[in-house]
Chains A and B, each alone.
Chain A
Amino acid sequence: MPLLRVSSLSKSFGGVHAVRGVSFDVEKGMIKALIGPNGAGKTTLFNLVSGFVLPDAGEVRFDGRPIRGVPPHQVADLGLSRTFQNIKLFAGMTALENVMVGRHVRSRSGFLASMLHLPSTWREEAEVRERSVELMDFLGIAALADSEATSLAYGQQRAVELARALASEPRMVLLDEPAAGLNMRETAELARLIGRIRDRGVTVLLVEHDMSLVMDISDEVVVLSYGEKIAEADPGTVQKDPQVIRIYLGEEEC
């Protein structure tokens, strides 16, 4: 059984078919990429999968469980975590605190327990802090822990956002253009990181424009164009697909 199964998913916004009948599977432990020109519906597809947008038709199953219509905070609870195209770190909080929020679904203390600062609360708090520091260490950003998150350099913010998404110990992460705004060195570093994330047992689905990154790290690639899936294969095959070449390089003139 695939970890994520997207079947005939459709969504239109005021007559524009952003996503039309898209189906694909993501197997456990794989890195899968969604590519396509601007406006192909990649981000919409992400929002549909993570519950931020309700599909018009079709179904999404995560680990066999239908998650269509499940509110996004519960989707996160099920083990499906995500990042945003335009990094959305929590302003006014340190990088470490941002990552600690990521452990929200792995901790339980509510209003009363927190106000009374019960032993269970402070034990949990220590655990949250410890695991968050550990994770930042894993991603090589432990030195940034006490910096205000939104004042960090762009590449560092990406890394903090990645740490935050991983803090919930998800089974799968959705990365929305993780390499956007990164320079070549940072992109290479990111590629290495995504590989290590997969090695930790986290399945990765990413939307990406950077072809070298996609071809480098992906096990499989889905190509979208005008909301429809036009190809799905391993990177080598996709690169040679005439239809893919056409949408990326334009129609050959005769």
Chain B
Amino acid sequence: MRPALLRQVVLFLAVAVVFQLLAVAGGQVFLLTQLTMSLYYTLVVLGLSLLMGYAGQISLGQAGFFAVGGYTAAALCTWDLAARRSSEWVAAAERTGLLTARTDAFGALVLTVHPWPSLALAVLLSMALAVVVGIPVLKLKGNYLAMATLGVGTIVYSIPLGTARLGAADGISGVPPFPLLPGISVDGSPRSRIANYYVACVVLAVAMLLLLNLVHSRVGRALRAIHGAEDAATAMGIDTARFKVRTFVLGAALAALAGVLLTHFNGAIGPSEASVMKSVKYVAIVAVGGMGSLWGTLAASLVLNFLSLRGYFGTLDDAVFGAILIAVMLFAPEGILRIDLRRTLGLAARGPRAPAEPR
């Protein structure tokens, strides 16, 4: 690991600890719930930041991938197979640990897919969708790409809304806890609030570390080159289509992971998670955070999502994010919080440069 990047991530975790301690000291532990949710939403936004801020490709369908993850997990983990226990397939799946049995509030046996295989399937499904959609759609540029991804987002939104099995407008509730590690599970009970906050922090920190490594690598350079001058990138041997699709798929995987974990945390998911307005919100956050700045995006996402979840924007929530997007595009297309932690904190993210001397 690059020490400088590792230091940045450790610093992030330290700040997270300070927040937790302050919340406890101030008797406001309930705030950690919204912070946890913001951390998961930030995972979604980081994936989009890679696509938009680095590769320069817009997507108005990011919420769709979150929803694919969340709905897959919710559907699989609430799909009661107890009545079909006699079936050979179900029995075999139970023996291999793919299924998990529990008793519901009335003492009846419930047999559903275990959250781990459901997580794997959710992420894979989202990535598969990203491949299928990304290959044709990412051939488009600019406004056309925006419109096409908007179309994809709209289609994904209409699926849970129109499917009774997915709860239609009500969504799916009663999603069981996710037993992540012995003694730690992702769920919404007030008792595990602090543990869940840290789970989200660690998941985000790990994702951040991987993405920071990525953007400071050959791949990151290739993505920025695509953004900077696409045909010159092609002339340098970069298979631009392939890099765009892979970035899209990575973003979809992160969104799906966030969708799964947040759905277990909330115990439910509704169709609004897939709505186009959610995607616009994510785009607005990336815009505020600064194109090509992962830390800026992270900061913008945590603050804006937290304020939004706490209800500070009230019924004007969507309007606020719309206004933010317009304001950023008009006055600061490079982003407001373009935080360069390297410079601000004097941490060199890149390796030492060879001495540059004039000839």
Contacts and interface: CB of A to CB of B under 8 A. Distances in A.
B356 A90 contact: no
Given A97-B221, A114-B213, A114-B220, A104 B237 contact: yes
Interface residues of A, number: 53
Contacts of A117: 1-2, 213, 217
A81 B240 CA distance: 16
Contacts of B217: 109, 114-115, 117, 121, 125
Given A73-B238, A73-B240, A88-B232, A133 B354 contact: yes
Contact of A73 (B211, B239, B354): B239
A77 B221 CA distance: 17
A88 B236 contact: no
Contacts of A81: 235-236
Contacts of A89: 228-229, 232
Contacts of A164: 236
A90 B353 contact: no
A111 B214 contact: yes
Interface of B: 1-2, 210-211, 213-214, 217-222, 224-225, 227-229, 231-240, 246, 250, 292, 351, 353-354, 356-359
A124 B221 CA distance: 14
8 contacts: A52-B235, A71-B239, A81-B236, A93-B224, A101-B225, A109-B217, A109-B219, A126-B351
Contact of A91 (B222, B228, B235, B359): B228
A252 to B, nearest CB: 42
Contact of B219 (A111, A126, A133): A111
Contacts of B227: 90-92
A122 B5 CA distance: 14
A241 interface: no
B20 to A, nearest CB: 28
Contact of A76 (B213, B235, B353): B235
A217 interface: no
A30 interface: no
Interface in A30-52: 50, 52
A93 B236 contact: no
A146 interface: yes
A142 B358 contact: yes
A72 B225 CA distance: 15
Nearest to A121: B217
Which residue of B210, B232, B236 has the most chain A CB atoms within 10 A of its CB atom? B236
A15 B76 CA distance: 60
A105 B351 CA distance: 22
Given A89-B228, A125-B217, A143 B358 contact: yes
A198 interface: no
A78 B78 CA distance: 54
Interface of A: 50, 52, 71-74, 76-77, 81-82, 84, 88-93, 96-98, 100-102, 104-105, 107, 109-111, 114-117, 121-122, 124-126, 128-130, 133, 136-137, 140, 142-146, 164-165, 168
Contacts of A144: 356
A180 B213 CA distance: 39
A46 to B, nearest CB: 11
A72 B235 contact: yes
B348 to A, nearest CB: 12
Contacts of A109: 217-219
B351 A84 contact: no
A143 B233 contact: no
A153 to B, nearest CB: 14
A105 B224 CA distance: 16
Given A110-B219, A117-B213, A105 B236 contact: yes
A173 B172 CA distance: 60
A146 to B, nearest CB: 7
A136 B353 CA distance: 13
A118 B213 CA distance: 10
A125 B218 CA distance: 7
A52 B236 CA distance: 12
A160 B358 CA distance: 14
B353 A146 contact: yes
A52 B359 CA distance: 36
Contacts of B239: 71, 73
Contacts of B356: 133, 136, 142-146
Contact of B235 (A82, A97, A146): A82
Contacts of B210: 115-116
